[in-house]
Amino acid sequence: MTIRHKLLASFITLLVVFSALCLYLTYALHKQGEQTIFAFNQPLNAVNSSSAAANIFRQASNFSADVLAFKTPRNSEQVAAEFAHFQSEFESHLSQAKASSLTESAMELSSEILTLSEQWFAQTKHHLSGGAQSALLDLRVLNSLETDIQTRLTKLANETQASAQQLAEQVTSDIDAQMLSVFILLSVIALVAIVSVFFLTSGLLKPLLNLKDAVVELARGDGDLTRRLTIQRQDEVGQLSSEFNLFIEKVHQSVLAISESVSQTQQKVHEFSAISQQTQEGTSEQKNKIESISTAMEQVILSVSSVSDSSQQAQQQAGNIYQDTEQGVCLINQTHQDMLGLANKVEQASDVIFELSHSSSEIGSVLEVIETIAEQTNLLALNAAIEAARAGEAGRGFSVVADEVRNLAMKTQESTLNIQKTVSKIQQQAAMAKDMMEQGREEARVCADKNQQLAVALEQILNRAGDIKSTSDVVSEHTKQQDKAINHVNQFLSSIVNIADDTAQGSLHLQNNSSEVIASMLRVEAKVGEFKLC
């Protein structure tokens, strides 16, 4: 049953209970009002009727006394009619008093008075009509009967008042008992309502407090992403707990993916740093060897100059030319081997830089994965913040967690962007270094080819030492060309040295950038380490 249904059922139950209570109170008040009206009207009617009967009887007595005393003119028919009217009025009021009597004794007393009054009215009427003297009763008997009737009327009035007082007290007692019953019933209903509200409130607040404790522990504790809420309800709180567990699971998986990506990136960056270190060391070694070659080429230039001078004196110094040419052949062969070695070193350095560029591309791929995960995490955190805002006060602690996760995702995106910029710069510099190394390798091959040509020429000079005199002009021209070629080679070697310096600086810069990337990865790993993942 959902919270809405529980609250609706509670309100309907309270409404039914209070409606039944209102109906009961209405019924009780109606009965109590009827009893109260009866308690006021019935005794009042009995007292009024008995008092009126007593007054009518006194009037009839006085009228009969006046007639018998001849104080009133005698008209038999008029006297009889008036006296009959007194009797009718008396019997009517006495019957009303009897009907309004509250006790059996009052009713019996009314019956006795009615019987006695009939005798009195009959005898008095007989006296008033002037019947036979032998049939007339003594006036003392009539007076005694009259006194008895008045006494009984007085007793009836007093007894009626006493019964009215007793009925009033009984009504007051009934009202008090009714008020006590209503108070007890209201107290019981209030107690039941309080207990129901307590249990209903406890049932609603307990899962909300559990959810609040879990969110607070996640926000202020050690970031335990392995904790899940126990779902024991099928209402809105149970649905909120289930959605919270799904959100934590998604965050858990995202942080795990970020952790794995950071580890892979660190491994690649360490490999990249090692390759940069090797490139820097290889470039330094290449630079030293090129400087050695440059020194050797300066010696070749000096030897070629010497050959040029010797060609002018070819006839006088043929023996010296032969020796110098032989030395030149050996030196050129050695130079040729050194140039081949240099070409191989340049080719190896080019391969290393190619691997460096390939590793940089892999780092870029890994960083794209990290950026994608960070964007998804940011979207999940934004959705969680929206859901927490919909939850209102109960989702406030949950909104704090979503903000922290979104900040972490934004920081990860910023770090990834910085790493991408650094890796892009590394790739550009690696591409430039690769192009320069390719150019240096080609130039080294050209130098090797020219050295080979020089070696062939010197061998020809050596084989034709006997003809050196006749071909001295040709030798001189070849020597000039060789001098130019060697100068070009020396210039190429200087360019290669400059390229090697640039490559060394680029490798050093790459190594520094790798250190910055590693530091950024460590910061990301430290942030991820704040969460408990297993």
Q: What is the pLDDT of residue 421?
A: 82
At 333, phi and psi to the nearest 5? Answer: -60, -45
pLDDT of residue 224: 66
Decide if 3-213 and 257-529 have a common fold: no
What would the two tokens of residue 478 be?
């070849």
Judged by DSSP in three states, 72 sits in coil
CA pair distance 500, 358, nearest whole angstrom? 21
CB atoms within 10 A of CB 151: 11
Structure tokens given for 332: 């050129």
Please state which of the four CATH numbers 1.20.1250.20, 3.30.1490.20, 1.10.287.950, 3.40.50.2300 is assigned to the domain occupying 257-529. Answer: 1.10.287.950
* Two structure tokens written together for 492: 């190429």
Longest dimension (CA), the chain: 224
pLDDT along the chain (534 residues), means of 10: 64 74 73 61 68 83 74 66 84 81 79 85 75 51 81 81 76 80 83 80 71 67 65 68 77 77 75 74 74 73 68 66 72 73 72 70 73 78 76 71 76 79 77 76 75 74 69 68 71 72 72 73 68 62
**For the chain, how far is it from start to end, CA to CA, in angstroms?**
35
Residue 47: φ, ψ to 5°: -65, -45
- pLDDT of 134: 39
Q: What is the pLDDT of residue 136?
A: 46
Dist CA 409 CA 429 (whole Å) = 30
DSSP-derived letter for residue 231 is: -
Q: What is the DSSP letter of 136?
A: P
Fold of 3-213: Four Helix Bundle (Hemerythrin (Met), subunit A) (1.20.120)
Q: Where are the domains of the chain?
A: 3-213, 257-529
Beta bridge partners of 532: 224
Residue 61 in contact with residue 146, Cβ under 8 Å?
A: yes
- Cβ atoms of 145 and 123 within 8 Å: the answer is yes
DSSP reduced 3-state for 224: strand
pLDDT of the residue at 6: 62
CB-side neighbour CA atoms (13 Å) of 223: 17
Q: Rg for the chain (alpha carbons), in Å?
A: 67
Burial status of residue 307 (CB atoms within 10 A of its CB: 0-12, 13-18, 19 or more): buried
* pLDDT value of position 512: 74
